[in-house]
């Protein structure tokens, strides 16, 4: 059986979230007991909590909602690339062009160890020129282990808008600590949520058999 890497964060009340956004919450609506045969729960959270797929509507008012996004970019062969050596922004020089040659999906590991228990406001972001490099190489989806492609304080979202111009898709908040650089099958489907600017994903990588 092919090995599977779960690269998703666990949604939980203690999950670090973007400053100002509500924490994840799970409420028990019904519990198994006398007169009740089942457990039923409800959850509430920002759509950008944990591992998620931005929809184009997140950064463009005329962009597609999560429910309307083509699913093909979110499933298929992908390259995992270690860019922990980069500083501040992942620049084109930080990407080995041979590593992305022929890749339609690229996941970038920026953290030595993912900050599971705390929010890191100084996370590494991606330069817009790096997005252009990936788009020119034929990449359709860019994923990263940080909360955003752009710096936390960005008001222009240059990387997101370069993604928009290239009609690429985005995964953010992945956990890539235990995944060696290489080629895998990615499966990270967004939920079919009408009007949504993002969706949680259960992102996995599956070993490719030769």
Average pLDDT for 188-206: 98
Residue tagged active-site, from 48, 52, 58, 160? 58
Is residue 206 within 8 Å of 105, Cβ to Cβ? Answer: no
Q: How far apart are CA 166 and CA 144, in angstroms?
A: 17
127 occurs within a structural domain: yes
How would residue 12 be classed by pLDDT, with cut points 50, 70 and 90?
A: very high
114 occurs within a structural domain: yes
How would residue 29 be classed by pLDDT, with cut points 50, 70 and 90?
A: very high
User: What one-character-per-residue DSSP string does 56-110 give?
Assistant: GGGT-TTSPPGGGS-SGGGEEEEEEEE-TT-BSEE-GGGS-HHHHTT-SEEEEE-
34 occurs within a structural domain: no
Does 209 score more than 90 pLDDT? Answer: no
The pTM assigned to this predicted structure is 0.96
pLDDT at site 1: 86
- pLDDT tens sequence across 93-132: 999 988 898 999 999 999 999 999 999 999 999 999 999 9
Give the range of the structural domain holding residue 51, as residue numbers without chain letter.
4-9+47-207
163 occurs within a structural domain: yes
22 occurs within a structural domain: no
Q: How far apart are CA 127 and CA 142, in angstroms?
A: 13
Is residue 52 among the annotated active site residues? no
Question: How many independent structural domains does the chain possess?
Answer: 1
162 occurs within a structural domain: yes
- pLDDT tens sequence across 30-83: 999 999 999 999 999 999 999 999 999 999 999 999 999 999 999 999 999 999
- pLDDT tens sequence across 130-187: 999 999 999 999 999 999 999 999 999 999 999 999 999 999 999 999 999 999 999 9
27 occurs within a structural domain: no
Q: How far apart are CA 152 and CA 168, in angstroms?
A: 21
CA distances in angstroms from 83 to 80, 89, 158, 193, listed in the order given: 10, 10, 20, 32
Q: Identify the CATH number of the domain in which residue 195 sits.
A: 3.50.30.50
Tabulate helix, strand, coil % of the chain (nearest 5). 15, 30, 55
65 occurs within a structural domain: yes
Q: How far apart are CA 119 and CA 121, in angstroms?
A: 6
């Amino acid at each position: 059986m092919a090995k599977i890497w779960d690269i998703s964060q666990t949604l939980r009340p203690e999950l670090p979230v973007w400053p100002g956004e509500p924490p994840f919450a799970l409420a028990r609506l019904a519990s198994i007991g006398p007169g009740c045969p089942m457990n039923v729960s409800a959850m509430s959270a920002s759509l950008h909590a944990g591992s998620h797929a931005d929809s184009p509507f997140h950064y463009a008012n005329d962009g597609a909602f999560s429910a309307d996004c083509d699913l093909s970019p979110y499933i298929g062969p992908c390259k995992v690339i270690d860019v922990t050596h980069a500083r501040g922004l992942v620049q084109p020089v930080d990407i080995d062009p041979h590593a992305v040659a022929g890749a339609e999906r690229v996941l970038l590991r920026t953290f030595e160890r993912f900050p599971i228990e705390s929010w890191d406001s100084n996370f590494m972001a991606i330069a817009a020129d790096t997005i252009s490099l990936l788009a020119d190489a034929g990449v359709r989806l860019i994923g990263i282990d940080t909360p955003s492609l752009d710096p936390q304080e960005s008001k222009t979202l240059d990387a997101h808008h370069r993604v928009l111009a290239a009609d690429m898709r985005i995964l953010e908040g992945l956990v890539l600590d235990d995944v060696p650089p290489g080629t895998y099958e990615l499966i990270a489907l967004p939920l079919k949520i009408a009007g949504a600017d993002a969706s949680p994903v259960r992102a996995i990588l599956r070993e490719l058999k030769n």
